[in-house]
Amino acid sequence: MDTWVETKQFPSHLLSAAGLVYKENKVLLIRSPRRGWEFPGGVIEQGEVITDGLKREIWEESGILAEPLALAGVNQNLALKKGYGPLEGMLLPPVVIFDFICVYVGGTETLSEESQEIGWFFPEEAVKLVQHPGYAERLRTMLRFSGTIKLAAYEKTAEAFRNYREIDLEQAPYSSSAEK
């Protein structure tokens, strides 16, 4: 029996979405007061469709309207982390992050509480600017996207980024009960 059934404690994960927005041959980055340069994204609200939340987060953080084209990666941050801002004093659950490749459809770069600067950068510039370990790894994955969704799991706390591992579905053994 699953542990959560025995303990009657439902597993809890936040859902988050982020987008690497392309405009011609450049990508959108925002400079966050907490993590430096990164691509926009954030937590999906209760009852919100993931792609709607993605578009909302990109708009709120940058003033840019974007349309998701492809899901490039699914990442699990397995660590619990301390809340910040209005969530200070809380312990936040692990996060499942959906990373999308997006295309610019409109809007004007607009600063917000979550973006101190906004810019469009060539991919090689973006790789140099994004220094946060989790975001840097996810950015490289999205820039290499060739149609195969990458899965990854890691533990990111304020102190460390550790145990990163990509899960390669193309090489995972598969068997179904229908084949037996």
What pLDDT shows up at residue 178?
A: 44
Q: What is the pLDDT along the chain (180 residues), one digit of tens a residue?
A: 677 677 767 778 999 999 999 999 999 999 999 899 999 999 999 999 999 999 999 999 999 999 999 999 999 998 888 887 888 888 889 999 999 999 999 999 999 999 999 999 999 999 999 999 889 999 999 999 999 999 999 887 666 677 777 777 665 454 444 443
* pLDDT at residue 170, rounded to an integer: 61
Helix (H, G, I), strand (E, B) or coil at 51: helix
pLDDT of residue 158: 62
- Residue 88 — φ and ψ, nearest 5°? -55, 135
**Cα dihedral sign for 19, 24, 25, 29?**
negative
Q: What is the pLDDT of residue 180?
A: 38
pLDDT at res. 9: 72
Name the pairing type of β-strands 26-32 and 36-38: antiparallel
Q: Which residues pair with 68 in a beta bridge?
A: 102
Q: Report d(CA 13, CA 17) in Å as an integer.
A: 13
At residue 8, the pLDDT reads 66
Which token pair is 37? 């340069």
User: How far, CA to CA in Å, does 121 sit from each of 16, 41, 67, 80?
Assistant: 24, 17, 18, 32
Question: What is residue 3's three-state secondary structure?
Answer: helix
